[in-house]
Amino acid sequence: MAAEVTQNRPIPTITITSRAGDALSQLGKAARKKPMGAAGAVVLVLLVLVAIFADVVAPYPALEHGPTPLAGPSSEHLAGTDQFGRDILSRVIYGARTSLYVGVAATVVSMVPAVLLGMTSAFFGGWYDYLLQRFVDTIQALPGLILLMTIVVILGSSLWNVIFALSFNRAIVGSRVMRGATLGVSTATYVEAARACGATNVRIILRHLLPNIVPTIIVVYSLGFGTVILAEASLSFLGLGVPPPTPSWGGMMAADGRAYMFAAPWMLWAPTIALAVVVFAVNMFGDAIRDLLDPRLRGTR
Amino acid sequence: MLRYAAKRVVGMVPTVLILLFLAVIMINLIPGDAVDLMMEENASPERRAALEEQLGLGEPAPIRYVKYVAGMLRGDLGDSLWSREPVLPELLKRVPVTIEIALLATLIGTAVGILLGVISALRQDTFIDYAIRSVAIAGISLPNFAIATFVVVMPAIWWGISPTLRYVGFTEDPFTHFKIILVPALVLSLNLAASVMRLSRTTMLDVLRQDYIRTAQAKGLRSIQVTVGHALKNAMIPVITLTGLQVAYLIGGSVIVESVFVIPGLGRYLITAIDQRDYPVIQAIVVLLGMFVMLVNLLVDMSYAWFDPRIRMT
C-alpha cells in the first residue's frame, strides 16, 4: 500500500487566502513567472469588456445596412464594410459577444456532466464503467467537427443547438480526463481512511475526491475554451453555426467573406485577426494555468 | 503481437455496435416529423410513403438496427434519398481523397514537427528555440479554414496567381493530382506540426537529460548518432499518441479544407448531404469515418511495441 501512495504524484494545493492583498501579491507573482500567460489573461479580460460593452464600443450597429457596400478600410470604417454596407469592425465587436457567449455557455454546460460521469465511472467501476467508457470511445472515434455537424443537422441550426452540440462533445471528451484524474487520487490513503470511518460514497466523492481534481478541471476547461471558440467558428464557417444575421467571426469569414474575397479581402482580415488573437490568448493563458496548477498535464490539449 | 491484435479487434466490437446504434437512432432524434422536414412542398403521398419506408420510420428502432447491421455486412449502407443510388460506391470514390489528404498532412505534420521539436530541444533557450516556439504557438492558434482561405485568396491578390481549383484524379494524372492535394495537405498539417513540435521538444528535453544519453556521449558517439539513435526513439511514444489522437481531428479538418480548395472528397459530399438532409448518406459517413479512426487507433497502439520493445503486447 505504501508503494502505491508514493506513486501518486503530489497534488498541487490551492492556497486560499483571506486577505485580498495576499491574493493580489500571489497573482503578481504568478504573472511575473508567466508573462505570456498574463498577457493572455489581459487579452481575455479585454474580450469580456468588449463583449459586454459592445453597444458602447462599436461605432455602428452590427445589423444596420449602410450606404457604402464593399468599401475598403477608411477613417469612417476602420475595417471596411461588407456587401450590405455594414461596418466590419462593429460586426467583429458584436461577434466577440457571440464567441464569448457560446464559449462560456458550452464550457459551463459541459462541466457538470463531464465531472459527474468521469468521477462516477472511476469510482464505481464495473459494468457501469465499462459501458460508459465504450460509449466515450465511440464518440471520440468520430471526428469532432463531423460529430458537431451531425448533431446540429439533426437538431436544427440555432444558437442553443450549437451550444448543445459543443457541450455534448466537450462533456464526453472531458469525462475521460476526469475519470483518469479520479483514478489517480482514489487510491490515496485518505480515501481509505474516510471509508473506514463510514463515510458514504457521495461524501467521499464530494468531500475527498472532487477537491483533488479541481486543478484538472480548471486546466482542462481553460484550454478547452479555445477549442470551443474555434469549433464554433468552424461550424459557422461551414454555415452550420450561429444563424445569420447574428455576427459570428467564423460566419463572417465564410458566407460573408468568401463570396467577395477577391474583390474585398478586408472582409476576411478583421474576423481572422480577432479569432487568432483570442485563441492565441486562451492558449497562452491555459498553458500558464496548467504549468502553475498541474504540470502533469503538460502536452495535453 | 497477432494475439494482441486479435484481442484488440474483438475489443472493438462493442464500440462499433454502439457506433452503429447511434447512427440508426439518429433519425429518431430529429425533433418533429423528419419526413415533413425533408419533403418538398406539395409532394405526392406516394413519395411520402416511399420516403417513410426508406427511412424505416414505420419500424421500431431495434429492428432497423438489426437490418442496418445485416445490410452493412453485405456491403449495403443504404441509398441516398435524393439520387436513389446506393451510398457505398459513391463513398468509396470520395473517402480515399479525404483520407489521402489527411494522411499526407499527418506525414508532413509529424515529420516537420519532430524535426523542429528536436532542433528546438537541442538549442534550448537560444534564438532558434524561441523563434520555432513562437511560430508553433501561432500555428496552433490559426484555424485551418482561415489559413486555407488566405492561401487561396492572397497570392491571387498580391501576385495575380491562383492555385488550380480544378481537381484531377490520381488515375488521370498522378503528378498533377499530387500537386493539387499537396497544398490542402500542407495547410492541414500546420496545426499538427505545431502541436507535435511542442510535444517532441518537451519529451526530447526529458530524454536528453537521462544517464544513458550521457553514456552514449561519453563513449564518443557523434551527436547525430546520439540524437537519432538513442534519444529520438525514446522520445517518440507520447508523440505517436498525440498523432493518433489527431487523426480524427485531421479528417474533420480535411472536410473544411476540401471545401475551400474545391476538392471532391468527403467534405463536399457531406456538406451537400447536410444541406439536403440526406440522412442515409450522413449515417454512412459517420459509420465509415468512426470505424476508420478506430482502426488507426489500433495501429497506433501496436506501433508502441516497435518504438519501445519493453512494452509487451498482452
Mean pLDDT of chain B: 80
**pLDDT above 50 (res A75):** yes
Residue B44 lies in a domain: no
To the nearest whole Å, the CA of A295 is away from the closest chain B CA by 12
CB atoms within 10 A of CB B90: 16
- Angle ∠(B125,B243,B101) on CA atoms, nearest 5: 115
Cβ within 8 Å of residue A14, ≥6 positions away:
A214, A215, A293
DSSP string covering B45-73: HHHHHHHHHHHTTTS-HHHHHHHHHHHHH
- A34-55+87-293: CATH homologous superfamily? MetI-like (1.10.3720.10)
Of B19, B29, B145, the CB nearest to A234: B145
Nearest one of A292, A232, A268, A249 to A51, comparing CA atoms: A249
Contact B200, B235 (CB under 8 A): yes
* pLDDT, position B41: 54
Which tens digit of pLDDT belongs to each residue from B105-138? Answer: 999 999 999 999 988 888 877 888 888 888 888 8
Cβ-defined contact of B18 to A145 (cutoff 8 Å): no
Higher pLDDT pick, A257 / A28: A28
SS (H, E, C) B165-192: CCCCCCCCCHHHHHHHHHHHHHHHHHHH
For the residues B270-282, what does the mean pLDDT come to?
82
Contact B102, B254 (CB under 8 A): yes
On chain B, the residues whose CB falls within 8 A of the CB of A298 are 202
To the nearest whole Å, the CA of B142 is away from the closest chain A CA by 5
**pLDDT above 90 (res B35):** no
SS3 B309: coil
* pLDDT, position B157: 67
Which tens digit of pLDDT belongs to each residue from A83-98? Answer: 666 777 888 888 888 8
Give the distance from CA B251 to its chain's centroid. 3
- Residue that the C-alpha cell 449602410 belongs to: A66
On chain B, the residues whose CB falls within 8 A of the CB of A137 are 15, 18, 294
Residue B246 lies in a domain: yes
Which tens digit of pLDDT belongs to each residue from B54-88? Answer: 666 667 778 888 888 888 888 887 777 777 788 88
Residue B71 lies in a domain: no
Which tens digit of pLDDT belongs to each residue from A145-183? Answer: 888 988 988 888 888 999 999 999 999 988 988 888 888
**CA dist B149 → A252, A278, B142, B267 (Å):** 12, 19, 12, 16
- Name the residue ranges covered by the structural domains of chain A: 34-55+87-293
To the nearest whole Å, the CA of A144 is away from the closest chain B CA by 6
C-alpha B297/C-alpha B50 separation (Å) is: 40
Asked if A259 reaches chain B (Cβ–Cβ under 8 Å), the answer is no
DSSP assignment letter at A168: H
Asked if A223 reaches chain B (Cβ–Cβ under 8 Å), the answer is no
The residue range of the domain holding B206 is 92-264
Cβ within 8 Å of residue A202, ≥6 positions away:
none
Tell me the CATH number at B238.
Answer: 1.10.3720.10
Task: Assign A299 a pLDDT band (cuts: 50, 70, 90).
Answer: very low
**CA dist B1 → A92, B22, B309, B311 (Å):** 55, 32, 12, 11
Of B256, B274, B290, the CB nearest to A153: B274
C-alpha A34/C-alpha A40 separation (Å) is: 10
* pLDDT, position A7: 42
Contact B171, B207 (CB under 8 A): no
pTM for this entry = 0.82
Q: What are phi and psi of A81, to 5 degrees?
A: -125, 160
On chain B, the residues whose CB falls within 8 A of the CB of A141 are 15, 19, 248, 290-291, 293-294, 297
On chain A, the residues whose CB falls within 8 A of the CB of B150 are 268, 272
Asked if A144 reaches chain B (Cβ–Cβ under 8 Å), the answer is yes
Best of A99, A137, A266, A267 to disrupt the B interface by mutation (most B CBs within 10 Å)? A137
User: ipTM, 2 decimals?
Assistant: 0.81
Residue B307 lies in a domain: no
Nearest one of A54, A51, A110, A84 to A244, comparing CA atoms: A84
A window 146-205, beta carbon within 8 A of B: 146-147, 149-150, 153-156
How many structural domains are present in chain B?
A: 1
Residue B134 lies in a domain: yes
**CA dist B176 → B135, B165, B166, B186, B187 (Å):** 30, 12, 10, 16, 18
